[in-house]
Amino acid sequence: MKKNAIITFSDSKYGDFLANHWIKSLKDNVNLDNIDVVVLDYGLNKEQINKIEEGNIKIIRCKRDGKVVIIRFRDILNFLKKNKYAQVMSCDGGDIIFQKDISHLFYENKKDYRAVCEFKLPFNEWSALQGSIDKNIILRLKKYNSKKMINAGVVIAPRVKFMRFCRMCNTLITDKNKFGPDQIIANYLFYKEGFIELENTYNFIPGTANDGFLIRNGEFYYRGGEKIAIVHNAGQIKFNRVINNFGYGVNFNKLKFIRYYFFRMLILFLNKFYYKTI
């Protein structure tokens, strides 16, 4: 049986979080018996590398010549050309923790892209990225203006399809120094070719998720009491992230109440009034 892979990426800025929270939470909660864990290295320091290697993690040294969240697709593609995994999951490495086993996802809907959706597609905001991507891609996305936005922070696909996704990111994103164009490619490709929408527990973003949640002893739960599988404290800048001291353990994760409720009201307003006019 071919193995599966979970691939992430980091530089020294987020290397401590990767080693002490991302990897620790993954190993504590996910069955890795048939999964290789791969880290794309964009400038980890020696101490971080040593700690990551202790966990039997594959580290791939990569050239940092753009925004790492974008150039990772070039390097994932090169890695997958040489390594014939069955299924591939990519996920962010600097703002995600694992709280439950997610290994079963590699054996469900194995022919499809799989990802979690958020709110409706914000086409007007994405128009600012036209300088970094073929503007026709954004124009074609307008046919999906009643659809929800796919979050590219966690994506699962069979190897061949994942390589196709990587090729499109590498080819169609002309300016690889901007944040966001990978989201455009993911939404364009997945809606065009079809995908399976995962439950938001597999990429739960506290600032945008419709479901209420609680934090108990540093762990995230739905209000009904079920533990959330993957928590993603997403946001391009610190202001957009609603969890303070994010991490894995009882001493972490405090909700920024004012910021959280500000974003909740903003998203409710946009979904009700603004996105309907796009």
pLDDT of residue 237: 65
pLDDT of residue 275: 55
Per-residue pLDDT tens over the stretch 203-257: 999 988 888 899 999 999 999 999 999 999 987 666 678 999 999 999 999 999 8
pLDDT of residue 276: 53
Strand, coil or helix: 114: strand
Q: How far apart are CA 233 and CA 214, in angstroms?
A: 14
Reading the block at residue 42, the tokens are 């964009």
Question: Which ranges constitute the DSSP H helices of the chain?
Answer: 12-17, 23-29, 46-54, 68-82, 123-126, 135-141, 159-172, 181-193, 257-269
Residues 39, 9: contact at Cβ < 8 Å? yes
Q: How far apart are CA 33 and CA 35, in angstroms?
A: 6
Is 0.85 surpassed by the pTM of this model? yes
Q: Which residues of the chain have pLDDT under 70?
A: 123-125, 236-239, 270-278
Residues whose CB is less than 8 angstroms from the CB of residue 97 and which lie 6 or more positions away in sequence, other chains included? 21, 22, 25, 230, 231, 246, 247, 248
Total residue count of the chain as it appears in this document: 278
Reading the block at residue 214, the tokens are 């609680």
**Residue 106: C-alpha distances to residues 25, 75, 86, 112, 152 (Å):** 18, 22, 9, 11, 17
Q: How far apart are CA 11 and CA 19, in angstroms?
A: 11
Domains of the chain (ranges, CATH numbers): 4-201 (3.90.550.10), 208-277 (no CATH)
